[in-house]
Structure 1
Amino acid sequence: MSIEVNNISKSYGAQKALDNISFSVKKGEVVGFLGPNGAGKSTLMKILTTYIAADEGSATVNGFDVNTQAKSVQQSIGYLPEHNPLYLDLYVREYLAFNADVYKVAKSRIEEVIQLTGLSSESHKKIGQLSKGYRQRVGLANALLHNPDVLILDEPTTGLDPNQLIEIRNLIKNVGKDKTVFLSTHIMQEVEAICDRVIIINNGKIAADKKLENLITEATEQIIEVEFDKKVAEQVIAKIENLSSYKNTNEMIWELTFKTDKDMRPIVFDFANSNGLKTLQLNQKNKNLETVFREITK
């Protein structure tokens, strides 16, 4: 296994950030690590990168123990933290050359990662002159510099514009063909585009760990959009069977959420008839990762 986590717990005072977390990641997997703010994502990533120690449990990365073999762990991972620490007064190539010396890698690798991360046009500038998106690229280039077996990326697409998002997404997908990628993000579309598997953490515990396609198809929440021919009072809508929430998105259009995998469109249609309403449109909205995430972490 590239990453092995066994019964990891971590507290900050009275607050338990991680509560008996266990999972493993195989070589070549691209795994999305999701959770609400404060769920414990960054804490676990800091433990895996040896930045902080767990209170209980154990973890290995590439077979190296994060507590007793910290240097070996650091040499075998590429890490892009959430708050990307850079030396703003250094030029891009100067910064990468400094880190190449630290990792003891050939200087030819600098040009390779510059090309790989699309930094060529900005590589002559000081890091402090770069946009936030290009600074993220510098951090990613640095994480790839020593050709690590495992990439741990905490919010890697922060600050990127839509075109840059696509480029970095493709880069991560390509890197994931022969490396293990463990990434945290709040952008669900990125996870759907990049990841094979999703781990969702909530309140310090694992709430879901499945292949992406299975996670979506097994979701029990269903959203139906219906348009009636006249306005309907909220207290009337609330009487629909199995309804867990509802939202009036337009004057006569409602978004109805049900906690069931049964197709509720016939129920909504019958509700309209019994209340003297006509349905002008009745659509079941496709389930996506955002819907599932909301369902699991409510």
Structure 2
Amino acid sequence: MDIVVEHLTKRYGPQKAVDNVSFRVKAGEVLGFLGPNGAGKTTTMKAIACFIKPEEGDILVGGYSIHEHPEIIKKNIGYLAENNPLYQEMNIIDFLEFIAKIHGIPKYLIPERILDMIRTCGLEGEKHKLIGELSKGYQQRVGLAQALIHDPDILILDEPTTGLDPNQIVEIRELIKRIGKEKTVILSSHILAEVEATCDRILIINNGRIVVDGTAAELRKQAQGNEILKLGVQGGSVDDIFEHLFEIETIDSIDLLDVEKQLFEIQSLPDTSSVKAIFDSCVRNNYYITELTPTETKLEDIFRDLTLH
């Protein structure tokens, strides 16, 4: 199912939590919703899931409007809230049976759906335990199971790895990637590695507005602009190497990073590459290259640039 968000605005008192936001999520896509705390991610996700009603704008889920057909949309969405509310005194099987009944799954199908969720979410060894006895990682798995039990087309996950240890984070990410092959997924996070590891596309929101939309590679390319190279050269003096490098027409600037190792940072002119010309110059002058690597703009740097003003 496609999701189309059109001019979404939601206020809490005088403050706009979401300010005229528009975007589209294609069926089968895993969208990473990225932004600092308080940026408007959760509000947008709750509006898509029909938990809150916006003052302005509309959201179409599979062609149905949240204003006109919220009951149809809710049947097609699985939602995992950030705080993952679970009944701690229930065991996993009883809890999933309870959720299945709430979703109106026919009684004869419920045992099969519970077993399917236990297998999918890796809960076989824990299925008879009380939820309150489970680790945070396994409680997140139960949260995913309850979000998936009615087989929704769309899965909305709000900060799904909050509070997990590194091993649990990797496990939940792998689980989300597997689920994402079959469903449309919106995943919110303020952790960059999270969205890069699991998502096809990244949407960055700040102060209630979308500031960027694209893949991780596109964001880096957009931010980087000019080619930046780290170059190590031996076989000549620093001054001679500088002189010969400056003869290359595509080079815009050269900075010396390390005198002893003779490491340079080279920035090329826009839309040009200096790699071949550097190599040819070194061959002509009997220098040898110890290092020649592109300097990649980090996603963290892009995120800070976009959200700290």
> Structures share a fold, TM > 0.5?
yes
Aligned to 1:278: 259
* Native 8 Å contact 1:151 1:181 kept in 2: yes
Aligned partners of 1:221 and 1:131: how far apart in 2?
A: 45
Amino acid in structure 2 at the alignment position of 1:207: V
Structure 1, 278-287 or 120-129: larger mean CA deviation = 278-287
Aligned partners of 1:140 and 1:110: how far apart in 2?
A: 12
Q: Give the alignment partner of residue 173 of structure 1, picking from 160, 174, 177.
A: 177
3-state secondary structure, aligned to 1:36: coil
TM-score by length of 2: 0.77
Deviation at 1:161, TM superposition (A): 2.5
CA separation of 1:224 and 1:203: change in aligned 2, threshold 3 A? farther
Amino acid in structure 2 at the alignment position of 1:290: E
Aligned to 2:298: 288
Please list the CA deviations of residues 138-168 of structure 1 after superposition, one character each: whole Å capped at 9, or x if unmatched: 1111111111100010011122222222222
Aligned partners of 1:120 and 1:279: how far apart in 2?
A: 58
Aligned to 1:268: 255
* Native 8 Å contact 1:2 1:62 kept in 2: yes
Amino acid in structure 1 at the alignment position of 2:104: K
Aligned partners of 2:58 and 2:141: how far apart in 1?
A: 32
Instruction: Please tell me whether residue 53 in structure 1 is matched to residue 24 in structure 2.
Output: no
Aligned partners of 2:195 and 2:121: how far apart in 1?
A: 19
Deviation at 1:126, TM superposition (A): 0.9
Aligned to 1:11: 11
Aligned partners of 2:189 and 2:175: how far apart in 1?
A: 16
* Native 8 Å contact 2:34 2:191 kept in 1: no
3-state secondary structure, aligned to 1:268: strand
Aligned to 2:144: 140
Tell me which stretches of 4 or more aligned residues in structure 1 moved more than 3 Å. 220-225, 279-285
* Native 8 Å contact 1:32 1:198 kept in 2: yes
Aligned partners of 1:141 and 1:288: how far apart in 2?
A: 34
* Native 8 Å contact 1:20 1:205 kept in 2: yes
Q: Give the alignment partner of residue 134 of structure 2, picking from 112, 130, 134.
A: 130
Amino acid in structure 1 at the alignment position of 2:58: S
3-state secondary structure, aligned to 2:84: coil
Deviation at 1:115, TM superposition (A): 1.2
Aligned to 1:239: none
Amino acid in structure 1 at the alignment position of 2:189: T
* Native 8 Å contact 1:221 1:291 kept in 2: no
CA separation of 1:156 and 1:263: change in aligned 2, threshold 3 A? farther
Aligned to 1:24: 24
Aligned partners of 1:289 and 1:28: how far apart in 2?
A: 24
Structure 1, 187-196 or 89-98: larger mean CA deviation = 187-196
Unaligned runs of 5+ in 1: 226-261
Please list the CA deviations of residues 171-209 of structure 1 after superposition, one character each: whole Å capped at 9, or x if unmatched: 211211221011101221121111111110111111001
Aligned partners of 1:95 and 1:282: how far apart in 2?
A: 61
Deviation at 1:285, TM superposition (A): 4.7
Amino acid in structure 1 at the alignment position of 2:219: L
* Native 8 Å contact 1:62 1:76 kept in 2: no
Please list the CA deviations of residues 247-284 of structure 1 after superposition, one character each: whole Å capped at 9, or x if unmatched: xxxxxxxxxxxxxxx988x5431xx7xxxx83645577
CA separation of 1:268 and 1:279: change in aligned 2, threshold 3 A? farther
Amino acid in structure 2 at the alignment position of 1:143: A
TM-score by length of 1: 0.79
Deviation at 1:19, TM superposition (A): 0.8
Please list the CA deviations of residues 40-86 of structure 1 after superposition, one character each: whole Å capped at 9, or x if unmatched: 00010111111111010101222221122111111000100111111
Deviation at 1:221, TM superposition (A): 8.2
Which protein has the larger Cα radius of gyration, Structure 1 or Structure 2? 2
Aligned partners of 1:87 and 1:121: how far apart in 2?
A: 19
